[in-house]
Amino acid sequence: MKPKVVVDAISLLSPLTGIGRYTYEISSYLRETQELDLDFYYGYYSKKLFEPTTPLAIKGFKSFIVKNPFFKKIARTLLMNSSKIFASSYELYWQPNFIPYKGIKAKKVITTVHDFSMILYKEYHSKERVEYFEKFFEQNIYKSNMIITGSYYTKEEILDRLKFEEKNIKVIYHGINPDIFKPLPSLTSPFNLPKRFILSVGSIEPRKNLIGLLQAYNRLNKNIKEEYHLVLVGFKGWNNKEILALIEKNKKYIHYLGYISDTELAILYNKASLFIYPSFYEGFGLPPLEAMACGTPTIISNVSSLPEVGGDAVLYCNPYDIEDIKNKIEMVLNDEKLQKSMREKGIQRAKNFTWEKSAKEHLKLFKEVLKL
């Protein structure tokens, strides 16, 4: 008989984020293997794995809940408690999103901790989200028998901050879908963009350091900005009024596309002259990996876990130094030999990170915890 496993899939009901992508990709592979009897928890239990939700798909009452902090807080509390209702007893409960619910009945619990930004950088998150994390994270995390994390950088943070033995912390890198994110033949862009452009991908919120990027871009020589516009992709996060105002002020050179599909994104990566990701803090960082896989010369921050992703295939910048960000952009754009080297190294580097490889390591760990 297959072991009964439940996965918290609530992240698939909100606008797609890195955690939602991670939850879906690993769950999808686990379901395909048919080695586990899987249930998915959405505030109720289901055998169905929902496709990741886009912002455009969130309508009506659900949209109201997502956007309203007060009602979102109530909804989270209800979900935390409703897990106790009509629950079967599981052999394993995987929580891919930081905080295991105490009400889910399982003999073993595995939790994925992605980073500590809600402790270290509270200003980068909404008050409601920080309060929820502070109330429940340390209270519930010790329910876990094993912690998964996406980088050795975060593993060290876990060892410093939580009372877990090193043997109970497993680093499993995230991945990409190489069937989507890869070098493509010359395709027509689905957007009306200039021939050459700089691309940045990520939610429009403070942690991604878009203000720093916009300030660095504005310092570029006018001739460079005329030739290379800046294209931003990602759904509107929170606390973004200043960012959006800067975009509007410089709309002659800056294009904000909002959320787009993976297929459209892969085309943009391929057409971009340069990809830049100057984030202040990441537990992993999927967009740089996607860009590298498409052969796009990539600049990323030299902080947190990002060097584990980029290796020697990217150029690094100091996210706190606007002039350094500007100089690194100019360095890549003005050196075709460097661009060629970065393309080749990026493609090779990205081959080490796939969702299939990541999912196989998750399944192996699940079996070890279940003692199969």
Per-position DSSP letters for 306-337, written without gaps between them: HHHHHTTSSEEE-TT-HHHHHHHHHHHHT-HH
The CA radius of gyration of the chain, in Å to the nearest whole number, is: 21
Can you name the residues that pair with 94 across neighbouring β-strands? 7, 110
The pair phi, psi for residue 201, each rounded to 5°, is -125, 130
Strand positions, DSSP E, 160-319:
169-171, 197-201, 229-233, 254-256, 274-277, 298-301, 315-317
Q: Say yes or no to pLDDT of 55 above 50.
A: no
Listing from the earlier edge strand, what are the strands of the sheet with 89-95? 45-46, 37-41, 4-8, 89-95, 105-112, 146-149, 169-171
Cα(209)–Cα(237) distance, rounded to whole angstroms? Answer: 13
pLDDT tens digit sequence for 82-134: 555 445 689 999 999 999 998 899 999 999 999 999 999 888 888 898 999 99
- Which positions ≥6 away from 334 have C-beta within 8 Å? none
- Do residues 126 and 37 touch, judged by C-beta distance below 8 A? no
Confidence of residue 228 (pLDDT cuts 50, 70, 90): very high
**In sequence order, what are the beta bridge partners of 298?**
275
Question: Which superfamily does 4-175+354-370 belong to?
Answer: Glycogen Phosphorylase B; (3.40.50.2000)
Q: What is the pLDDT of residue 249?
A: 85
Q: What is the C-alpha end-to-end distance of the chain, expressed in Å? A: 11
Rounded Cα distance, 309 and 87, in Å: 39
Q: Can you give the pLDDT at residue 372?
A: 78
Q: What is the pLDDT of residue 114?
A: 97
pLDDT in tens, 264-305: 999 999 999 999 999 999 999 999 999 999 999 999 999 999
Q: What is the pLDDT of residues 15-24, one digit of tens each?
A: 778 899 999 9
Instruction: Please name which of 9, 13, 39, 41 lies closest in space to residue 25, comparing C-alpha atoms.
Output: 9
Q: What is the dihedral of CA 99, 173, 14, 89, to 10 degrees?
A: -50
What confidence score (pLDDT) does residue 87 get?
A: 56
Residue 71: in which H helix or E strand, if any?
Answer: helix 69-82
Per-residue pLDDT at 203: 83
326 vs 124: which has the higher pLDDT = 326
Topology adopted by domain 197-350 = Rossmann fold (3.40.50)
Q: 192-215: string of b/e by CB count within 10 Å (b at 16+)?
A: ebeeebbbbbbbbbbbbbbebbbe
Give CA–CA dist 253/141, Å, rounded. Answer: 46
pLDDT beyond 80 at 65: no
Give SS3 for 187: coil
Determine the Cα–Cα distance for residues 52 and 13; give it in Å rounded to an integer. Answer: 7
Q: pLDDT band for position 219 (50/70/90)?
A: very high
Looking at residue 50, what DSSP letter applies? Answer: P
pLDDT in tens, 168-187: 999 999 999 999 999 999 88
Portion of the chain with pLDDT greater than 70, in percent: 90
180 near 256, Cβ under 8 Å? Answer: no
Res. 260: pLDDT tops 50: yes
**Whole-number pLDDT of residue 58:** 43
Record the tokens describing residue 93, joined without a space: 């409960």
Q: Hey, CA dihedral for 66, 71, 74, 78, is it positive or negative? A: negative
Instruction: Kindly report, as residue ranges, where domains of CATH 3.40.50.2000 are found in the chain.
Output: 4-175+354-370, 197-350
